[in-house]
Structure 1
């Protein structure tokens, strides 16, 4: 397989459970060595896709090509794929070493080869000192690492991870996120990660596929999805944003011109240029709004009055009433800036590249 050929090719995948459409004609390529995250709310189709890739579900229509081979009808044990479950699914009566060796035994490897590979992967994941312990004697983070070692030991082409950090507390979760990404980089394995946690997806992924109602809402890098969302769903699902509702007036070069609150604004259109005269909504992230006493040099600028401030530790959230006071803009600013603004009239400015016109 050349580097240009995708490791995984999903072609027209659909899955129906009775009258319920869990997955609706999904087509997607995943490159070798990519960390791809499927992100979305419960019932959006992300776990169904993962189970089809693993061979645990049969699609209603469509194909799964892995390493150039059609594996759509193959059972899990025949695929060069392994899975890390949300509850880790470790065998409680087996030691760490025995859990890690389990998949190698299933492959029929010799005893000496099993020992060599088990020791190699446990060393790689710094588990040697826990080899003789049982899962109940380990912390949540250690169990997660053992589950990962067991899944990586047979050297799969594709690793599927089904919300594997869901059982960890917030502090440990952050540590394991970094560890997991580091392991993926060092092994150069292809990871297919499923989560409903937007922050987790932004932190760990090379690429995020946002799912909604069985379909792909947007597919791109974390930066693209955060700063240039294509739809209202993506803008609201990933992070916090200001949604500005106005009228499409035309274009200026590659920028969209919109009327909003008696002001002309310029923005980008990640999902394509809307029709002239139609109502449109744009997204501007809170940290992209700047404050100033005088009109700023930015292409977009409006006047408003500060009506609320919330101290968040390293920054402040400031609410500004625009126009007649019916419209509120919210901005993240540093604490010093937040403390210096009061209820006087101020200017808020932002650049066109930081405003994305949405497709719905």
Structure 2
């Protein structure tokens, strides 16, 4: 496999679904988390000029609830629902301290997950907020800044010799009476918690709808969704491919870990062997989540695998507009750069219904979670989007 050449596959018959309301209580739950506020929706004029559209909107997740990534939205909701299923129903509560007091009779209790960085830190933060222990399994090649950030949350970090998928398999074996596995990918017999992770990300898109309405703007013509195991992309599809919505969706992943693209080409879930060594570390996944798969495989208009250099280009372009975006965070824009610049761009624009008056949406899913790597790519030190990192 040529790991440096972009690959594109068009879904000839993308589907739409009926209206899917947010999970019961999701918005109220997130509003009760410490420091909750909608993250900014920023305009990126430099990106818009390069892509030849009127507007590029960037949902900036570089500071979400005090963490430099969006993952806390899914991890917190999935943790709450898992605790509720095992120990609930809970008495009414307004703060996490009040919820934590209801869990004390069940201690010691440990939250477990595998991670490429951001999900694990989010699970560790949720454990710290609730007075629980956390054990986070990480692949051996994960950036030291991301490992240190998880440890600073008070979690036990267990380094796995192998890939992210190897860490997932080891984490799955740790389910027990005193341990809850909070994974954002699924496997046979383990689907409910990953489904809650997908549900949790809906808060991002509810916020975007409100922010665009305040600005008097219509929904974007095209949305880019980072794929990885597919949890975020599934949430994008659930929102933007619902009945009555007109947005199209482009799914983006690294050429060095194209598990969704390979699965689409195979007509079902397959595993892509490693090494998965893209700089887009949060997307270094060898197999899509079976929970996300129906949404991702059927609802995305175009599946795109991009080389690392496109992510670097996107990081630098976002920095020109004052947006700090890490390697995985910039992947959506990397996909748009691949699609809408260079040879074949006019045909691709026409296929997705783009004009010079169109608006695009990318979700910058993380800030500079590896500050050294960010500075190396962008040529400057990130002054924000590095919460708790050094």
More helix as a share of residues: 2
**TM-score with structure 1 setting the length:** 0.27
Q: Which has the higher contact order (CA 8 A, sep 6+)?
A: 2
**TM-score with structure 2 setting the length:** 0.25
